[in-house]
Amino acid sequence: MENFKDKVVWITGASSGIGEALAMAFAREGAKLVLTARREEELKRVKNQTGLPEQDVLILPLDVTKLELAEGAAQQVIAHFQRIDIMVHNAGVSQRSYIRDTSMEVYQQLMTIDFFSTVALTKAVLPYMTQQKSGHFIIMSSVAGKIGTIMRSGYNAAKHALHGFYDSLRAEGYQDNIKVTTICAGYIRTNISVNALNEAGGKFGKMDENQANGIPAEECARRILEAVRKDKKEIYIAGFKEAAAIYLKRFFPNLLFDQVRKNIPK
């Protein structure tokens, strides 16, 4: 059972939603935090709410789409804390648009934010974890990483890609005690649908009904810490319907595909 006290935990997308909830959860466990997002003022708000000593929280504003900044960001963390124990890849954006209407630029943006940014930061952090012979990556995937659904084609693709990449990393990093926990989240009560990209790359701007009624972010964070504590390789944090859909795809794929086809988003 892993103890998080004094562990250095780097969280991307830490200014709201699941990232903010994770910051609070790790802070209660006595971890030291690196908080990353684009909005520095929101990161400062989260830092203040953690109640941790000043020296135990590093604010590191970063646009994760600027892949060339990843190595420098990792160097800043090492300069401050001398190590990185847990890397939480939480930054991401969803999508609400049909394939026929969606521009290639939007697909490129989705893949850069949801996949390539995690790869860039992982490659920047991995040498330090390899040197210290320990490290744990937490990957915020989705039920969409298992099932393709309507109006989320690019988001689905990026989340599927995360599984392929981090399954490989889990195997390659085993000898150096590098661990990976992949989180397949269903509907969590955050603003992910409001901030989702539409076909032109703007904000969708609407709260999905399922999202509004989803699992609280704080409960999601609690389950993530328990999974990491027990070194779970992959977990589902979802309502009954979303979790059931994963098993339907495995054992009754035709039935699942029919259900997806009929499930037009409102």
Residues with catalytic roles: 155
DSSP state string for 53-87:
-GGGEEE----TT-GGGHHHHHHHHHHHHS---EE
Amino acid, single-letter form, for residue 9: V
Nearest to 116 by CA among 89, 138, 134, 88: 89
92 contacts: CB under 8 Å, gap ≥ 6 = 13, 113, 114, 140, 158
- 247 vs 93: CA distance, rounded Å: 25
In angstroms, the CA 261 to CA 206 distance is 22
What's 216-263 look like in SS3? EHHHHHHHHHHHHHCCCCEEEECCHHHHHHHHHHHHCHHHHHHHHHHC
Stretch (H or E) spanning 147: none
d(CA 114, CA 110): 6
* N-term to C-term CA, the chain: 42
Q: Where are the beta strands (DSSP E) in 132-211?
A: 135-140, 178-185, 188-189
